A = this chain, B = another copy of it.
Amino acid sequence: MNSFGRIFRVTIFGESHGPMVGITVDGCPAGLSLTEEDFTTDIERRKGGTQKGTTPRKEDDKPIFITGYFNGKTTGAPLTILFENKNTRSGDYDKIKSIPRPGHADFVAHQKFGKNEDYRGGGHFSGRLTVCLVAAGVIAKKLLQNISVEAKITEVGGEQDVEAGLQKAIDAKDSVGGIVECTVKGLPIGLGEPFFDSVESVISHAVFAIPAIKGVEFGAGFAAAKMFGSEHNDAIVDASGKTATNYAGGIVGGITNGNDLVFRVGVKPTSSTPKEQESWNWDTEQIEKFSVKGRHDLCITLRVPPVLEAVTAIALADLMLLEQQIKRVI
């Protein structure tokens, strides 16, 4: 399903080249102040227009509140926000309809939905919809109040420096991946459940909703596999549960322990690369060389931080509501 959350439940809809994309947030507490300006920063961060390595497609991306919003506040009813798709050029995509692009959903979409999928720009399988995630994330962040959720890029194209990584891509005329780290400060102890709704389960579920993410690790993560227990165990140093180290990344037994929640995601290189590639041609029934035209990011990682913060905030807002750490009416 295209929904996430048990109380703060987000439903996403839309296609890259349809008239609009949108999101419905059900279960949002009543009385939360919201202005268009609240959305500006994160939506601008998600846009790539001004940064080298991101797509020249530009959208206004003004949130249109159509339901659940009255007199500047949420009403407690389902909150639906739409974004118009103005700047689409479907023509770009017609040429490659007969060749499923490697690394894209073209092939699987065709198999899953038959001849019915909206193939323009990836249809529903489009990074365009992440603007909706960002919008829901803005709301979730406001609900989280004194809790901060911050994601930053730690690596691009294997380089610690974003500029260097991008230059590598430009020089190679290719796309590159990267790593993004997210840190949440101020969480209460006790969110999550021991098994199927461990905090790692819930956050990773949300995180892999972001296109292009192929790995997630909490705290020391994969490095923990090389550590000794005496080294990895975070000694508890006071009655509040503060630990001397934070190799657990703020989660023990699937439950938040009050220390910073820290996790990293691995982002694959953008599937659309300027390089010539090979793929199966459905019409000619043979492997053919082709190039992706369209407008694309050299490094989708650059746009990931606000989206990663958003899905993290969405997941945490839901966990907070479940644990009654956020009130139903504000």
Q: CA–CA, A323 to B27, complex, Å?
A: 11
Q: Which residues of B are found within 8 Å of A234, using beta-carbon distances?
A: 102-103
Q: Does A155 contact B (CB under 8 A)?
A: yes
Q: Does A152 contact B (CB under 8 A)?
A: no
Q: Which residues of B are found within 8 Å of A150, using beta-carbon distances?
A: none
> Does B176 lie within 8 Å of A124, measured CB to CB?
no
Q: Which of chain B's residues has its CB closest to A6's CB? A: B6
Q: Does A229 contact B (CB under 8 A)?
A: yes
A231 CB to nearest B CB, Å: 8
Residues facing B in A94-123 (CB within 8 A) are: 100-105, 107-109, 111-118, 122-123
Q: Which of chain B's residues has its CB closest to A217's CB? A: B215
The quantity of this chain's copies bound in the complex is 4
Q: Which of chain B's residues has its CB closest to A190's CB? A: B112
Q: Which stretch from A37-45, A48-56, A141-149, A252-260 is at the chain B interface?
A: A252-260
> Does A252 lie within 8 Å of B13, measured CB to CB?
no
> Does B200 lie within 8 Å of A67, measured CB to CB?
no
Ordered by A's residue number, 16 sampled pairs between the chains whose C-beta atoms are within 8 Å are A2-B194, A2-B195, A6-B6, A31-B115, A75-B113, A76-B112, A102-B236, A108-B252, A108-B257, A158-B225, A175-B229, A177-B225, A204-B204, A214-B217, A217-B217, A233-B271
> Does B75 lie within 8 Å of A117, measured CB to CB?
yes
> Does A108 lie within 8 Å of B253, measured CB to CB?
yes
A-B pairs with lowest CB-CB distance, top 3: A105-B253, A215-B217, A175-B229
